[in-house]
Amino acid sequence: MSKKLLALTLALGLVLGGCGKAKDTNLDPKDTNIEKQVEDFKDTSKDDDGNVKASEKTSSPNINEVKIDLNASLAKFEEVFADKDIAIEEVKLELENGTYLYKFEGKKENKEYSLSFDANTGDIKAQKEEEDKDKEQIEAIDFSKIISPKEAIDKAIAGQDGAKVVEWSLKTDDGKTKYEIDIENGTDKEVDALTGEVVDD
């Protein structure tokens, strides 16, 4: 083989080899290295317990996206204590460490009941049943007569541009059943749970 032909063959081999390598550098979603990088990124966004770090949370929770509504939360309370006759004196939907929790307080005869659970998953966070030591009379909420939390929220933020509801609570006091609405970028409101009237403006 002549020196020219040998040189040409070697040059062609290098060019083809280079093209092959260039093709290998294309991003392939099945590439295990890319998958590892994604997993590494996910790992750095979590703490040692596997929880998402506060700094990695790009948006705050939205109360309107809570999966368990008030009726379902009441059913959960009754299921946990296996009793439909417990008088509920207060319900709250509160934001704790980036998670919405339902919190219930109730009484029956000589016992007090409290329950806290995740408003999206239903996972129980705290549960207690104990003797009623103070023996105070409570004003139970009549859930058959009240407007929904969504209706109360809409009433509370009406006319408040940019306002966002963060939390709410519901209880009966002095014969009046009211929602207390905690509002961000606006003024907190109290809404009559029977009529929908904003009673604290």
Is residue 115 in some structural domain? yes
Q: Domain range for residue 90? A: 63-200
Is residue 27 in some structural domain? no
**In this predicted structure, what is the pLDDT of residue 50?**
53
Is residue 18 in some structural domain? no
Is residue 20 in some structural domain? no
Q: What is the pLDDT along the chain (201 residues), one digit of tens a residue?
A: 444 444 444 444 444 444 444 433 333 333 333 333 334 433 443 456 655 444 333 356 899 999 999 999 999 999 999 999 999 999 999 999 999 999 999 999 899 999 999 999 999 999 999 998 887 888 999 999 999 999 999 999 999 999 999 999 999 988 999 999 999 999 999 999 999 999 865
Is residue 74 in some structural domain? yes
Q: Are 78 and 41 in contact (CB under 8 A)?
A: no
Count of domains forming the chain: 1
Q: Where are the beta strands (DSSP E) in the chain?
A: 87-96, 99-108, 111-118, 124-131, 164-173, 176-184, 189-192, 198-200
Tally: H helices and E strands in the chain: 4, 8
Is residue 184 in some structural domain? yes
Is residue 119 in some structural domain? yes
Is residue 80 in some structural domain? yes
Q: Which two tokens stand for residue 201?
A: 């403006």
**In this predicted structure, what is the pLDDT of residue 137?**
84
**In this predicted structure, what is the pLDDT of residue 68?**
97
CATH code of residue 67: 3.10.450.40
